[in-house]
Amino acid sequence: MEQKQTLKILAPLILAFSRSGMNEDNMNLYATVLSELSEHELKAGVLKCMRTCKFFPSIAEIMEVSNEMVQVATKTKVKSPDEAWNEVQKQMQEAFVYKEPKFSTQEIKTAALAMGWIGLCETPTDQIGTARAQFLRMYESVCKRKKEDRINNNVIQIMGGKNKTAELVGNVTKKIGGIK
């Protein structure tokens, strides 16, 4: 999206947060970084920020909220840890060790199978709370890794792709090592 259009969409934030101290340079920086979002993604993110933020949102907050709105609209929102655990419990009952479990997302499947599906299914009742806690940690880790991968891949793409990023890393490494 063009910077002018991005600035137009961001303008209501200045009105909503009149004491923010944002100036033209700040807004141009916001517009530059946020211009990768589509018009609809940014509009949704700005509107939600105006409804939920108490202070002027950072670029990261606007990006995160805009991405969340896309996930909600496309029904790809990551399930909460409790929703994921409920799904695992349901599969423990339905599939048990005799069938292949079916999960709604790759994150749930990765976390459940990483714990050892047979062992998870055969967890004694008095130890299910421990298994739940371990699953929740594993699931949150898998979700965090997926989010970081998405952000890293996006940054690499913006920087010109993997070759350009490798070149940049190589140049920085040479400067740090004193190699010219």
DSSP string, the chain: --HHHHHHHHHHHHHHTTTS---HHHHHHHHHHHTTS-HHHHHHHHHHHHHH-SSPPPHHHHHHHHHHHHHHHTT-PPPPHHHHHHHHHHHHHHTTTTS----SSHHHHHHHHHT-HHHHHT--GGGHHHHHHHHHHHHHHHHHHHHHHHHHHHHHHHTT-HHHHHHHHHHHHHHHHT--
Report pLDDT digits (tens) over 62-120: 999 999 999 999 988 899 999 999 999 999 999 999 999 999 999 999 999 999 999 99
Q: Which residues contact 148 (CB under 8 A, 6 or more apart)?
A: none
Q: Which residues contact 103 (CB under 8 A, 6 or more apart)?
A: 87, 88, 91, 109, 112
- Least confident residue range of 10-19, 40-49, 156-165: 156-165
pTM for the complete prediction? 0.76
What are phi and psi for residue 159, nearest 5 degrees? Answer: -75, -5
Separation of alpha carbons 8 and 28, rounded Å? 11
Report pLDDT digits (tens) over 131-165: 999 999 999 999 999 999 988 888 888 878 777 77
